[in-house]
Structure 1
Amino acid sequence: MAYEIKVPALGESIVEATIARWLKQEGEAVAAGEPVVELETDKVNLEVAADHGGVMGALTRAEGEVVGIGDLLGTIVPGSAPAPSEPAKATPAAMPPPSAKEGNGAATHATPTAQKVAREHGVALQGLSGSGPDGRITKDDVLRQVQPAPAATTTVAPLPAEPQPVAVPAPAPPRPAPAPTATPAPVASGRREERQRLSRRRQTIARRLVEAQQNAAMLTTFNEVDMSAVMELRRRRKDSFKERHGVGLGFMSFFTKAVVGALRAFPSVNGEIQGDEVILKYYYDIGVAVGVEEGLVVPVVRDADQKSFAQLEREISALAMKAREGTLSLTELQGGTFTITNGGVYGSLMSTPILNAPQVGILGMHKIEERPVVVDGQIVVRPMMYLALSYDHRLIDGSTAVRFLVRIKELLEDPEVLLLEG
């Protein structure tokens, strides 16, 4: 009797996945509870574990295939794996390429995509220096190790059957058909192209962004906020705050508190349209956009109105770390009543964020830049930030959007009100 491995329920609104990689191959021993295959979904990658121990049987689906909930992936046969033969032990050349998980925890410093590319090309991650956040190894770091050698672009094509004078150069080889992998495709001119399959997550991001623009009457309104008071408060309190709470006092807790205050004043911005009805939500689950290798993901801070500055900073920091490591769970990505995105960390001065459907509002933060402004009839230099609120005009009128953004501005320019109002 063989035990079947099937695609499990994947979470809210997720009905299919792509087989990212098999963690076990046919004939390998498998322990109960041990992961055997990694699935890539719209939101996260997840591992499917074996319900029973035994030996890996037939793999009915290949890496890269799209599968649905309940589809058969493979089987596990009761028993134990045969011991490897002596010749196999004595032939290192027959061993598979080093796994991304081998060697001094190198995989823990590489993104999931980088680990996959390293396996495909047999690149050892040990010793590679990463260009990502905190020195993490990215896909590009791995690909630089598999670039064709300079001589490869000048390799002479095989001579035709008829003898040719040695002095006549052979014709340039024809450009090969693009492969579905990330392998660079050298061309005779010396210029380089590569063709990659869009990840399921990237495809979903693209589809959802287009749907958001097509299905909502999206509009953006702007304002600017003087960050002097927030920056001064952080300057005075950051050391004692970190000593007391063990986490730094950043800007995101101030903006989250300000957003909650504005949502309380304008409940429709915390709503959702369903058919010919609107659902007004009196809880505040705030999505915080985080940039990762494959785009933006939006983990959610639940009940943000009930959390202190320290709790917000700690949770946002933890979610951002998990996002960059690719370890967010589905529940941490689901739901959300309003979203904050910070393009300022990349130097953006102004932008128009796209709605995170089915939400009807999203706040865009931007770069803090010293600019001359007029205060009490005097020209002074202040640290200013442009704010952008994109909203669904089907539910939110322009006057509501403008007043909502003004309320955020008021709370940030007088942050003591954030403390007084909780």
Structure 2
Amino acid sequence: MADIKVPELAESISEGTIAQWLKKKGDQVQKGEYIVELETDKVNVEIISDYDGVLTDLLAEEGDTVKVGETIAVVSEAGSTDSEEKSNGGQKAETGKQAESPDESAASSEAPSEGSHSDKASESQDKEAADGVSERIIASPAARKLAREKGIDLSQVHSKDPLGRVRKQDVDSYKAGQTVEQKTEVKKPDNVKQTVPVNSEDSKSVERIRMSRRRQTIANRLVEVQQTAAMLTTFNEVDMTAVMELRKKWKDRFYEENDVRLGFMSFFTKAVVAALKKTPYLNAEIQGDEIVLKKFYDIGVAVAADEGLVVPVIRDADRKNFAEIERDINELAEKARTNKLSLKDLQGGTFTITNGGVFGSLLSTPIINGPQVGILGMHTIQLRPVAIDKERMENRPMMYIALSYDHRIVDGKEAVTFLKRIKDLMEDPESLLLQG
């Protein structure tokens, strides 16, 4: 017998939730094969078997919380040998039965023999094995989670992937293609349970969705930040004319030379690094009664993934050029969309940038990503009339920017200086080339 235990995940993660068993009790497993999907505070991970054999016992059910080092399954390494011996024994018994005399055969036909039971058991095992094969669908964690939430059988979902792997988009497409009758039939039992009477004269149905572990973690941390930090937000606006003209001038050549498109995020990332060097207390954190000033610049970029908001980190942003930053952003965003972010991708940021403008947000007050003490919020670009001088007005592409900061260690002067520095650099983007 060999135990399958929850592996070490990260220093800050001590437990997780069983999201989906990829193997059933009694299934044959091979070393290196995925057997269970574990949902943690930050990412979903699939745990593999370190042994060959039969999965003889599952010690935790889907939805259970398990700790690092806890045994969640048992693999019998001799399971395959035992099954082969039983199979051979059944074959020998059947051969012996055929060699019996006619009288013995007639007698045995009147009462069920052990051989017949063996045949039925063998047929049952074959059927269960076939069912197990059909249920072991290759699918991404995000697809499995969505299928569980929507009550969709993954074996019925058509995959567009060349390798046959079911992805979240396939599950969405399947849901969209269902008829009204199918949806009603699938959801009817749940709706009966979930119907909540509003008053005696009228009633409305509601749908209860269990919060994912990541969503619970996000909620708890955001509330914790608001309760423990002296959070304050200051605003400014940026004339994006110069940046947009520079992008228009260089975007084609930039793409040809770097195979990546030039976006706004690389400009803002470079500007943030330059501003942090002028206001170091925004690149810090509080530990007890000490302020830890960080001399490195790992900039987190908030990404709205289907599983919830994640903040992957661009390492050593001060040492990277525009192309390297854009490439990192694209790779991290793609990992977030496909649920392939590792714990390393999410740890250790010193400052965060969030861009609500991609969804049309005109103005907001972002919440600090603790234990950091500052976050920059970008917003949508909007044409607004701007006074050029006393005589002239022009319509310019303007963006509101917001800095939320922890007033315990960052004073208003530093916060305003930081945001004004961002404004100046973005309105004169060529000066970013001089920033080390």
Q: What is the TM-score normalised by the length of structure 1?
A: 0.83
One-letter code aligned to 1:243: E
The answer to whether 1:414 aligns with 2:416 is no
Question: CA offsets per residue over residues 270-290 of structure 1, 9 Å max, x none?
Answer: 010111110000100000000
Quick one: distance in 2 between partners of 1:248 and 1:325? Answer: 21
Deviation at 1:32, TM superposition (A): 1.3
The answer to whether 1:349 aligns with 2:362 is yes
Deviation at 1:417, TM superposition (A): 0.8
The answer to whether 1:51 aligns with 2:50 is yes
Deviation at 1:192, TM superposition (A): 3.6
Question: CA offsets per residue over residues 341-374 of structure 1, 9 Å max, x none?
Answer: 0000000000000000000000000000111001
Q: What are the residue-to-residue correspondences of 1:211-222 with 2, within 5 Å? A: 211-222=224-235
Quick one: distance in 2 between partners of 1:319 and 1:146? Answer: 37
Q: Does structure 2 retain, via aligned residues, the 8 Å contact 1:114–1:142?
A: no
Q: 1:18 is matched with which residue?
A: 17
Alpha-carbon distance change, 35 to 406 in structure 1, aligned in 2, over 3 angstroms = same
Match of 2:378 among 340, 365, 386: 365
Q: 2:39 is matched with which residue?
A: 40
One-letter code aligned to 2:284: G
Q: Does structure 2 retain, via aligned residues, the 8 Å contact 1:17–1:42?
A: yes
Quick one: distance in 2 between partners of 1:128 and 1:138? Answer: 7
Quick one: distance in 1 between partners of 2:426 and 2:331? Answer: 24
The answer to whether 1:249 aligns with 2:262 is yes
What is the DSSP-based 3-state SS (H/G/I as helix, E as strand, rest coil) of the residue aligned with 2:169?
coil
Deviation at 1:189, TM superposition (A): 7.3
Deviation at 1:6, TM superposition (A): 1.0
Which range moved further: 311-320 or 370-379?
A: 370-379
Q: What are the residue-to-residue correspondences of 1:222-233 with 2, within 5 Å? A: 222-233=235-246
Quick one: distance in 2 between partners of 1:45 and 1:266? Answer: 36
One-letter code aligned to 1:16: E
Alpha-carbon distance change, 270 to 234 in structure 1, aligned in 2, over 3 angstroms = same
Deviation at 1:193, TM superposition (A): 2.1
Match of 1:303 among 300, 311, 316: 316
The answer to whether 1:95 aligns with 2:131 is yes
Alpha-carbon distance change, 288 to 19 in structure 1, aligned in 2, over 3 angstroms = same
Match of 1:291 among 274, 282, 304: 304
Q: Structure 1 unaligned runs (5+)?
A: 130-134, 156-172, 179-184
Deviation at 1:122, TM superposition (A): 5.2
Please state which structure has a larger fraction of its residues in helix.
2
Match of 2:417 among 397, 403, 411: 403
Alpha-carbon distance change, 29 to 421 in structure 1, aligned in 2, over 3 angstroms = same
Quick one: distance in 2 between partners of 1:174 and 1:54? Answer: 38
Alpha-carbon distance change, 126 to 151 in structure 1, aligned in 2, over 3 angstroms = closer
One-letter code aligned to 1:300: V
What is the DSSP-based 3-state SS (H/G/I as helix, E as strand, rest coil) of the residue aligned with 2:386?
strand
Deviation at 1:150, TM superposition (A): 8.2
Deviation at 1:54, TM superposition (A): 1.1
Quick one: distance in 2 between partners of 1:380 and 1:335? Answer: 43
One-letter code aligned to 1:309: F
Deviation at 1:197, TM superposition (A): 1.0
Which range moved further: 22-31 or 205-214?
A: 22-31
Q: Does structure 1 retain, via aligned residues, the 8 Å contact 2:144–2:154?
A: no
Q: Does structure 2 retain, via aligned residues, the 8 Å contact 1:217–1:393?
A: yes
Q: 1:74 is matched with which residue?
A: 73
The answer to whether 1:137 aligns with 2:169 is yes
Quick one: distance in 2 between partners of 1:94 and 1:150? Answer: 28
Deviation at 1:146, TM superposition (A): 8.8
Alpha-carbon distance change, 174 to 244 in structure 1, aligned in 2, over 3 angstroms = closer
One-letter code aligned to 1:15: S
Q: Does structure 2 retain, via aligned residues, the 8 Å contact 1:117–1:139?
A: no
Q: Does structure 2 retain, via aligned residues, the 8 Å contact 1:99–1:119?
A: no
Quick one: distance in 1 between partners of 2:12 and 2:141? Answer: 31
Q: Does structure 2 retain, via aligned residues, the 8 Å contact 1:362–1:391?
A: yes
Aligned length: 388
Deviation at 1:25, TM superposition (A): 1.2
Identity of aligned residues (%): 53
Q: Does structure 2 retain, via aligned residues, the 8 Å contact 1:34–1:49?
A: yes
One-letter code aligned to 2:35: V
Quick one: distance in 2 between partners of 1:270 and 1:92? Answer: 58
Quick one: distance in 2 between partners of 1:175 and 1:201? Answer: 26
Question: CA offsets per residue over residues 295-349 of structure 1, 9 Å max, x none?
Answer: 2100001100001100000011000000011000001101100000000000000
Q: 1:271 is matched with which residue?
A: 284
One-letter code aligned to 2:238: V
Deviation at 1:394, TM superposition (A): 0.3
Deviation at 1:116, TM superposition (A): 3.8
What is the DSSP-based 3-state SS (H/G/I as helix, E as strand, rest coil) of the residue aligned with 2:74?
strand
The answer to whether 1:319 aligns with 2:355 is no
One-letter code aligned to 1:54: G
Q: Does structure 2 retain, via aligned residues, the 8 Å contact 1:110–1:138?
A: no
Alpha-carbon distance change, 315 to 268 in structure 1, aligned in 2, over 3 angstroms = same
Deviation at 1:222, TM superposition (A): 0.4
What is the DSSP-based 3-state SS (H/G/I as helix, E as strand, rest coil) of the residue aligned with 1:350?
coil
Match of 1:240 among 236, 253, 266: 253
CA RMSD in angstroms, aligned pairs only: 3.2
Match of 1:114 among 146, 153, 166: 146
Q: Does structure 2 retain, via aligned residues, the 8 Å contact 1:343–1:366?
A: yes
Deviation at 1:231, TM superposition (A): 0.6
What is the DSSP-based 3-state SS (H/G/I as helix, E as strand, rest coil) of the residue aligned with 1:340?
strand
Alpha-carbon distance change, 293 to 277 in structure 1, aligned in 2, over 3 angstroms = same
Deviation at 1:120, TM superposition (A): 5.7
The answer to whether 1:199 aligns with 2:212 is yes
One-letter code aligned to 1:55: V
Deviation at 1:65, TM superposition (A): 0.3
Quick one: distance in 2 between partners of 1:251 and 1:136? Answer: 29
The answer to whether 1:281 aligns with 2:294 is yes
Q: Does structure 2 retain, via aligned residues, the 8 Å contact 1:23–1:35?
A: yes
Alpha-carbon distance change, 11 to 401 in structure 1, aligned in 2, over 3 angstroms = same
The answer to whether 1:334 aligns with 2:347 is yes
Q: What is the TM-score normalised by the length of structure 2?
A: 0.81
